[in-house]
Amino acid sequence: MKYKISLFLLLIFVLNSCQNNDERRLAENKKEAKKKEKIFDNINKAWVFIDEPINEVSEQNERNWTEWRDFLKELGEKPRKTIGAFQKKSAAISKKAIALNSNIPAQFNEPQIKARISILITKVKMMDLFIHLNQIPDEKVTFLIGDINKELVSLERQMDKIVEKAKIPKEEGEADFLKMLDTTRAIPNSNAVPIKAQNTDQNLPKVD
């Protein structure tokens, strides 16, 4: 009889333990779901990129520079519903950003433009890295979204500066002066009168 009672008590204990574990597991799952929901909401609210050209030069580039147009288009297509959709979109944006190094228009193939593109690519890749972590640091992702927008504005303004500078007419004679500074363009003067070498032989008689 005592054996049966002990077995019955043990069974009750086991059942209670299982029930407690299930309740604890459900509570943890609920807590994790709320955390993920908060992360999604934060990223969803912050996911606003400057996907429209901010000046005429950028607008022209959108028509003529395929990689630039594709990049802005990718930025403008906001994902929906799940964090997985944001992860997928982030990877696509990163790919389009890297492509900006290809086929840069000759007018903008300058160190200052390349430097800004490099910084922009770095920011996009960092965002893509953080959003794919198991524990997503949403505050870092949202911060980088703002940084990416700043780099976009900086890049477009630099493009505009280059175009405006090219419009400034050179002063008279400036072009010739620049050519003179370029030693590769130097042409020997064929009209120069050759200088005869003086005879320095000390044995020759001197003429007073």
pTM value > 0.85: no
Per-residue pLDDT tens over the stretch 96-155: 999 999 889 999 999 999 999 999 999 999 999 999 999 999 999 999 999 999 999 999
Specify if 128 maps to a domain: yes
What is the identity of the amino acid at 106? A
Helix/strand/coil (H/E/C) assignment for every residue in 9-33: HHHHHHHHHHHHHHHHHHHHHHHHH
Q: Which of 165-174, 175-184, 187-196 is predicted most confidently?
A: 165-174
Would you state the pLDDT for residue 172? 53
CA distance 73 to 64: 14
Per-residue pLDDT tens over the stretch 58-98: 989 888 899 999 999 999 999 988 999 999 999 999 999 99
Would you state the pLDDT for residue 166? 85
Specify if 201 maps to a domain: no
Would you state the pLDDT for residue 208? 46
Specify if 173 maps to a domain: no
Task: Categorize the per-residue pLDDT at 198 as very low, low, confident or very high, splitting at 50, 70 and 90.
Answer: low
Question: Which has more confidence, 172 or 39?
Answer: 39
Cα 85-87-88 angle, rounded to 5 deg: 65
Specify if 178 maps to a domain: no
Specify if 113 maps to a domain: yes
**Using an 8 Å Cβ cutoff, are 159 and 108 in contact?**
yes
Specify if 43 maps to a domain: yes
Task: Categorize the per-residue pLDDT at 183 as very low, low, confident or very high, splitting at 50, 70 and 90.
Answer: low
Per-residue pLDDT tens over the stretch 10-36: 666 666 666 666 667 777 767 777 888
Number of structural domains in the chain: 1
Specify if 93 maps to a domain: yes
Specify if 179 maps to a domain: no
Domain range for 133: 7-167
Question: Which has more confidence, 175 or 71?
Answer: 71
